[in-house]
């Protein structure tokens, strides 16, 4: 299975050149960028670990690539994503977010059903990877 | 994606006719639009003949290198890191801005901006603080030029455990491995810079171009003063020029003389005195001419004339 | 067009009938206050009726007036309560039609009530005999009044944060056929489409609780599909569960069940009425639910150019009323929509400070005072092969709904969804890379189709589909309707 979070997950994994082009787009828009990684890709896991602070005032993608590569090197088998933040009034949120590294094997999620009255079912999305402790998952 | 521009620099050639291929260096020069930057530099900075000549040489070298690269005659990116040495106020920062522009136009840096820093921006206060600070600056400078003023402060011979050393090591690594992403210009006094290079051979070996910025001559300083005034819509009265020359002769012999920067500061004070003179004097019958003219009185009020000291209460920072 | 307006108090309140213009409803020198509500009407007076008198009558009938003089006026500060028409312009290229600008004092309206606002502005006045036809074109809502409304329950920013989806339009599809599927089969469509790559699926406007499929059953099967798809993709997914029903009590009951099942979004139809919409918006805000509005019924009064009301006014009211999604046109699809007009609707829903723009039908500057943004939904006859045009015309903050364009895919619903998602992501990537994606669109899609079979088939099957009819609702301030490439 392939987790399809992020802006470009249905495309083949991005090449470094493609990543750089997207980062340059963000910089042209004046957005700050940051790199995040996780081994718990649950769809509601909002807070991936931050690889350093967001980078402000950069002019060129090379600076961000430095961090992308460092993070990928440190966590070759984690999910790594690049986020861009737009601080414009009225938006003030993530403007784009895309995965730049994923584990070799993605076991994905199981759906746990708890039967409740009136044929109602309560659903839990369970990540197989999180059966193991943090750091040993992929 | 990212198709290369098919300008004269990148035209592909067949190997058979290689040696005899005519090269239109003039066209390459024109396309890169470098002359425009050199002209701008000429307009902006008075004098500095040797510096301008060196910039031209560097530009020529880089241009030819690019053309050679089009024929696979050059291997890899040449080292472009530079050192600008000279006293304060000799135009190092201004030239660095133009150099960034030239490098951009010749395709050696992608964005062409200049990030100017000093030791304080690179070196931290406590353990673990320096690496992120230096990296942060490097990331901001990528795609352009990193200008480190008074670079020798990074190295403190007397203190082995100074955090500056850590910063130097990170700089060296990036200067070596990411030549495509960043050009570093180290700047400062000539003698101190030489000592810095002696104690840091790794740094010295990565600097490809040394450019020395001489002090301005007295005539050049007066011309600079005139230009500065004109840019702000002021002018010297005819008899004020000689007084200003007299001022400069005295000022140059005082400590902390900083070439063009000292001229700038002196003129700022002249404008202040001129304003006070107009304000305190007879305010009727004034003309526009009065508003734009700096007179001998405005210069002579300086303490440089009165008691041969600087126009400041506190000791000025270096280079003021 | 200036006229003598003033009558003495004695003349003004003498029993009988006097022209509206002379009763104080026409005040050419009036400058609207910052707190006034301003409305722009397109007035088509009956033959022989003076346009100013007709416009003054509209002001009168939409505020304090009745057909004759009443002495009880004099017990009130009636000068304040009278709406005032202050400007009448002939409509360009439309003989016999006039734009009437009418300003209303804030005190004429109840706080936070679209029902009260509309009871005046589009109340009796639309049946008034002195005008042949009447259309409400635009309104300027003052901040003072806006701030009495909740606004979108969730809004674009929070919706994206909850969905964890950024930097691209969202994708949806309406389950088809519209009517007749059993709940079990219906949920299958939901699962397939969401697993294939869509973010949302949707009940259609007339799916409520019919004999072939009762609502509770539908909710249960749809949520099974939603959760299965979320688990198999790792993404947040949603299905707009339509809670439209005959009474508010039933709507609340259905909404509560949707919440109990863990749905992130519910939907209602415009036909439930303004008050019901506002109630559901409050419920949605209180229960962390995204509220989708289907604009069912709007074309009965928004489509004809001379009578009814412009859809941009509905957009304004619905943003105030508090919905998070509203269908607002596609430009290139099967339903009505001139590009300029649609751009005006989208801006109305998504901007904070919006300058006037006559070409896009925005007659007034509108400051939304940080009211949350409402996500426009583009639905009806669109497909993957138009992705470059959709992105160009509609931008990034939009839900693109490919119903037939997903479910009609020859390889199945999942393939249809994948084709849309790949086409979208490819186009966003190209745009961000600085490509001239509108011009190179077909080429960019072709290239992606080389490695994506479902997209290849989608492009092949729908390549000739386009709906080139002239729009009826077009701008009055451009010479010709904008052609669609």
**Which among A17, A52, A63 is the nearest to B142, CB-wise?**
A63
Angstrom distance (rounded) from CA C239 to CA C216: 14
Q: What is the pLDDT of residues C285-300, one digit of tens each?
A: 999 999 999 999 998 9
Confidence of residue B62 (pLDDT cuts 50, 70, 90): confident
Phi and psi at B13, nearest 5°, equal: -130, 150
Distance CA B192, CA C460 (A): 72
Q: Which residues in chain A are contacts of C432 at CB distance < 8 A?
A: 21-22, 25, 96
Four-point Cα dihedral C190, C196, C200, C201, nearest 10: -30
Query: What's the average model confidence in pLDDT over C190-218?
Result: 96
Written as six digits, the tokens of C95 are 């003989």
| pLDDT above 70 coverage of chain C, percent | 95
pTM across the whole model: 0.87
User: For residue B312, what pLDDT band results from cuts at 50, 70 and 90?
Assistant: low
> Are C234 and A129 contacting, i.e. CB atoms less than 8 angstroms apart?
no
The pLDDT tens digits for B72-118 are 887 667 789 999 999 988 989 999 999 999 999 988 999 999 999 99
Question: 3-state class of C407 per DSSP?
Answer: helix
Write down the H helix ranges in B217-317: 218-231, 240-252, 259-280, 288-292, 296-300, 303-306
CA distance A4 to chain B (A): 24
What's the residue count for chain A? 138
Please give, rounded to a whole number of angstroms, the shortest distance from the CA of A42 to a CA of chain C.
6
Q: How confident is the model at residue A126 (pLDDT cuts 50, 70, 90)?
A: very high
| Paired residues of C238 in beta bridges | C200
Q: Which of A50, A12, A10 lies closest to A33 in space, CA to CA?
A: A50
Answer whether C451 touches A (CB < 8 Å). Answer: yes
Compare C37 and B26 and report the one with higher pLDDT.
C37
Structure confidence at residue B156 as a pLDDT band (50, 70, 90):
confident
How high is the pLDDT of residue B313?
47
User: In this predicted structure, what is the pLDDT of residue B157?
Assistant: 80
Segment C301-315 shows an average pLDDT of 94
Q: Is the model's pLDDT at B178 over the cut of 70? A: yes
What's the pLDDT score for residue B3?
44
Q: pLDDT (tens digit, 9 = 90+) per residue, A28-75?
A: 999 999 999 999 999 999 999 999 999 999 999 999 999 999 999 999
Mutating which of C220, C234, C384, C448 best tests the A interface, going by the most A Cβ atoms within 10 A? C234
| pLDDT for the residue B279 | 87
Partner residues linked to A126 by β-bridges: A110
What mean pLDDT comes out for the span C177-192? 94
Containing C75, the helix (H) or strand (E) segment is: none
Nearest Cα to Cα of residue A83 among A53, A60, A45? A53
Q: What percentage of chain A reaches a pLDDT higher than 90? A: 92
pLDDT of residue C6: 58
> Does C468 score more than 80 pLDDT?
no
**Band (C2; pLDDT cuts 50, 70, 90):** very low
First-last CA distance in chain C:
42
For C55-68, write each residue's pLDDT tens digit. Answer: 999 999 999 877 77
State percent of chain B over pLDDT 90: 55
Mean pLDDT of all residues belonging to chain C: 92
Of the candidate ranges B63-72, C163-172, C250-259, the one whose mean pLDDT is the lowest: B63-72
How confident is residue B319, by pLDDT bands cut at 50, 70 and 90?
A: very low
The proportion of chain B whose per-residue pLDDT surpasses 70, expressed as a percent, equals: 90
Radius of gyration of chain A, Cα coordinates, nearest whole angstrom: 17
The rounded distance, in Å, linking the Cα atoms of C306 and C312 is 15
Q: Pick from A17, A57, A67: which is nearest to B140 by CB?
A: A57
> Cβ C432–A97 below 8 Å, yes or no?
no
Residue contact B1–A17, C-beta within 8 A: yes
Task: Name the least confident of B51-60, B175-184, C51-60.
Answer: B51-60
Q: How far apart are CA A63 and CA C422, in angstroms?
A: 29
Higher per-residue pLDDT: B286 or B114: B114
Rounded CA gap, C59 and B270, in Å?
A: 67
Q: Is B231 left (phi over 0), alpha (psi -120 to 50) or beta?
A: alpha
Q: What is the four-CA torsion angle of C157, C163, C169, C175, rounded to 10 degrees?
A: -130
Residue C3: band (very low, low, confident or very high) from pLDDT cuts 50, 70, 90? very low
Return the pLDDT at A82.
Answer: 98
CB-nearest partner of A109 from C160, C231, C429: C231
pLDDT score of A127 more than 80: yes
A5 contacts A87 by C-beta, under 8 angstroms: no
Residue C485 has pLDDT above 50, yes or no: no
How large is the average pLDDT for residues C407-432?
A: 97
CB C164 within 8 A of CB A5: yes
The residues of C assigned a catalytic role are 176, 294
B81 with B147: CB under 8 angstroms? Answer: no
Q: Is C262 helix (H, G, I), strand (E, B) or coil?
A: coil
Say whether pLDDT at B309 is over 90: no
The C-alpha of C265 sits at a distance from chain A's nearest C-alpha, in angstroms, of 16
Q: How many CB atoms lie within 10 A of CB B12?
A: 7
Place of tokens 């037939």: C404
Phi/psi at C170 (5° precision): -85, 160
Rounded percentage of chain C residues whose pLDDT exceeds 90 = 79
The token pair that represents C370 in the structure block: 């940080």
Q: Tell me the per-residue pLDDT of A80-109, one tens digit each, with 9 for 90 and over.
A: 999 999 999 999 999 999 999 999 999 999
What residues contact B152, with CB distance under 8 A and at least 6 apart? B188, B189, B192, B193, B195, B196
Q: What is the pLDDT of residues C243-277, one digit of tens each?
A: 999 999 999 999 999 999 999 999 999 999 999 99
CB atoms within 10 A of CB B142: 27
Q: Kindly report which listed range (C24-28, C169-173, C313-317) carries the lowest average pLDDT score.
A: C24-28
Listed in sequence order, the residues at least 6 apart from C373 whose beta carbon sits closer than 8 Å to its beta carbon are A90, C152, C155, C156, C157, C319, C349, C350, C351, C352, C397
Cβ-based neighbours of B42, under 8 Å, separated by 6 or more: B52
pLDDT (mean) for B237-255: 92
Q: What is the mean pLDDT of chain B?
A: 86
Chain A residue at shortest CA distance from B179: A62
A16 lies within 8 A of chain B by CB: no
Q: Over 60: is that where the pLDDT of B320 sits?
A: no
Tokens encoding A137: 């998952």
- Confidence check: pLDDT of B123 > 60: yes
Please say whether the beta carbons of A127 and A92 come within 8 A. no
| pLDDT tens figures, C392-418 | 999 999 999 998 889 999 999 999 999
Q: Report pLDDT for C92.
A: 93
Is A64 at the interface with chain B, CB within 8 A?
A: yes
CB contact under 8 A, A64 and B110: no
Residue A99 and residue A80 in contact, taking contact as beta carbons nearer than 8 Å: yes
pLDDT of the residue at C232:
96
Model confidence at A17: pLDDT above 80? yes
The DSSP symbol for A15 reads P
Cis omega before residue C177 (within 30°)? Answer: yes
Q: Indicate the residue of A17, A58, A67 with minimum beta-carbon distance to B2.
A: A17
Contact status of A67 with chain B (Cβ, < 8 Å): yes
Ranking B22-31, C2-11, C260-269, C278-287 by mean pLDDT, the lowest is C2-11
Please identify which residue in the block is written with the tokens 């309104």: C139
* Confidence band of B15 (pLDDT split at 50, 70, 90): low
pLDDT of amino acid C124: 85
Over residues B232-251, the mean pLDDT reads 93
Beta bridge partners of C40: C101, C138
Distance from the Cα of C354 to chain A's closest Cα (Å) equals 13
Which pLDDT value is given to residue B2?
44
B69 touching chain A per CB within 8 A: no
- How do C290-294 and C265-269 pair as beta strands? parallel
Pairing of strands C238-242, A109-115: unpaired
- Segment holding C173, helix H or strand E: strand C170-174
DSSP state for residue B69 in the 8-state scheme? H
Residue pairs spanning A and C at CB distance below 8 A: 104
């Amino acid at each position: 299975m392939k987790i399809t979070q992020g802006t470009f997950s249905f495309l083949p994994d991005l090449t470094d050149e493609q990543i750089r082009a997207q980062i340059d787009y963000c910089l042209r828009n004046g957005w700050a960028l940051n790199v995040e990684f996780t081994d718990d890709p649950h769809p509601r896991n909002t807070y991936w670990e931050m690889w350093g602070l967001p980078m402000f005032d950069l002019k060129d993608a090379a600076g961000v690539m430095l961090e992308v590569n460092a993070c990928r090197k440190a966590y070759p088998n984690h999910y790594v994503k690049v986020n861009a933040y737009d601080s414009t009034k009225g938006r003030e949120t993530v403007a784009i977010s895309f995965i730049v590294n994923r584990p070799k094997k993605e076991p994905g999620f199981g759906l746990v059903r708890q039967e409740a009255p009136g044929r109602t079912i309560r659903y839990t999305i369970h990540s197989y990877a999180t059966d193991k402790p943090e750091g040993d998952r992929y | 994606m990212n198709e290369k521009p098919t300008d004269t620099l990148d035209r592909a050639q067949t190997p058979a006719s290689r040696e005899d291929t005519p090269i239109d260096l003039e066209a390459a020069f024109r396309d890169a639009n470098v002359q425009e930057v050199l002209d701008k530099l000429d307009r902006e900075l008075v004098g500095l003949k040797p510096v301008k000549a060196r910039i031209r040489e560097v530009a020529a070298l880089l241009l030819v290198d690019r053309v050679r690269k089009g024929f696979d005659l050059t291997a890899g990116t040449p080292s472009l890191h530079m050192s600008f040495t000279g006293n304060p106020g000799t135009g190092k920062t201004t030239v660095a801005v133009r150099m960034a522009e030239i490098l951009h136009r010749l395709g050696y840096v992608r964005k062409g901006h200049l990030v100017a820093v000093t030791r304080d921006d690179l070196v931290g206060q406590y353990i673990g603080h320096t690496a992120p600070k230096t990296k942060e600056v490097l990331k901001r400078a990528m795609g352009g030029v990193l200008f480190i003023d008074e670079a020798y402060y990074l190295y403190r011979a007397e203190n082995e455990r100074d955090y500056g050393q850590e910063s130097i090591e990170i700089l060296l690594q990036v200067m070596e491995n990411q030549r495509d992403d960043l050009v570093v210009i180290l700047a400062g006094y000539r003698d101190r810079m030489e000592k810095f290079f002696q104690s840091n051979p790794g740094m010295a070996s990565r600097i490809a171009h040394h450019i020395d910025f001489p002090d301005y001559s007295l005539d050049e300083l007066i011309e600079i003063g005139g230009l500065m005034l004109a840019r702000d819509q002021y002018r010297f009265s005819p008899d004020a020029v000689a007084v200003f020359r007299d001022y400069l002769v005295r000022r140059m012999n005082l400590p902390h003389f900083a070439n063009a920067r000292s001229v700038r500061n002196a003129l700022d004070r002249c404008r202040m005195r001129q304003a006070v003179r107009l304000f305190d004097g007879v305010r009727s019958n004034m003309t526009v001419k009065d508003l734009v003219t700096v007179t001998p009185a405005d210069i002579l009020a300086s303490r440089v004339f009165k008691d041969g000291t600087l126009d400041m209460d506190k000791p000025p920072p270096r280079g003021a | 067009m200036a006229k003598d307006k003033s009558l003495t108090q004695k003349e003004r309140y003498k029993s009988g009938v006097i022209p509206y213009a002379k009763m104080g409803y026409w005040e050419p020198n009036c400058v609207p206050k910052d707190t006034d509500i301003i409305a722009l009407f397109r007035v088509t007076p009956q033959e022989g009726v003076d346009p100013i008198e007709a416009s003054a009558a509209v002001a009168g009938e939409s505020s304090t007036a009745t057909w004759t003089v009443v002495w009880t006026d004099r017990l009130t500060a009636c000068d304040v309560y009278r709406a005032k028409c202050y400007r009448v312009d002939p409509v360009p290229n439309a003989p016999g039609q006039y734009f009437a600008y009418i300003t209303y004092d804030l005190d004429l309206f109840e706080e936070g009530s679209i029902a009260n606002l509309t009871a005046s502005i589009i109340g009796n006045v639309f049946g008034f005999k002195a005008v042949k036809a009447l259309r409400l074109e635009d309104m300027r809502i003052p901040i003072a009044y806006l701030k009495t409304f909740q606004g979108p329950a969730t809004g674009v920013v929070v919706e994206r944060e909850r969905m964890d989806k950024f930097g691209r339009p969202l994708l949806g599809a309406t389950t088809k056929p519209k009517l007749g599927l059993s709940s079990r089969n219906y949920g299958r469509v939901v699962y397939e489409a969401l697993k294939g790559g869509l973010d949302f699926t949707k009940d259609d406007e007339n799916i409520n609780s019919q004999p072939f499929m009762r609502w509770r059953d539908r909710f249960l099967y749809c949520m099974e599909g939603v959760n299965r798809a979320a688990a198999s993709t790792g993404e947040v997914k949603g299905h707009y569960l339509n809670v439209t029903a005959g009474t508010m009590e039933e709507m609340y009951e259905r909404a509560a069940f949707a919440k109990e099942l863990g749905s992130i979004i519910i939907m209602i139809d415009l036909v439930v009425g303004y008050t019901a919409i506002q109630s559901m918006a409050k419920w949605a805000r209180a229960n962390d639910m995204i509220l989708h509005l289907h604009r069912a019924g709007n074309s009965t009064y928004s489509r004809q150019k001379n009578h009814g009301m412009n859809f941009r006014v509905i957009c304004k009211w619905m943003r105030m009323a508090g919905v998070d999604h509203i269908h607002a046109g596609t430009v290139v699809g099967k339903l009505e929509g001139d590009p300029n007009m649609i751009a005006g609707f989208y801006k109305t829903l998504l901007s904070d400070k919006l300058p006037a723009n006559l070409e896009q039908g925005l007659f007034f500057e509108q400051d939304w005072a940080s009211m949350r943004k409402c996500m426009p939904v583009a639905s009806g006859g669109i497909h993957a092969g138009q992705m470059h045009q959709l992105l160009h015309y509609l931008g990034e903050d939009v839900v693109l709904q490919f119903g037939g364009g997903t479910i009609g895919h020859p390889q199945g619903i999942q393939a249809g969804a994948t084709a849309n998602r790949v086409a979208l992501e490819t186009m966003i990537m190209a745009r961000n890379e600085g490509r001239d994606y509108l011009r190179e669109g077909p080429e960019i899609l072709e290239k992606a189709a080389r490695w994506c079979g479902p997209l290849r088939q989608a492009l092949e099957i729908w390549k000739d589909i386009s709906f080139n009819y002239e729009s009826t609702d077009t701008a009055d301030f451009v010479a010709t309707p904008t052609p669609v490439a």
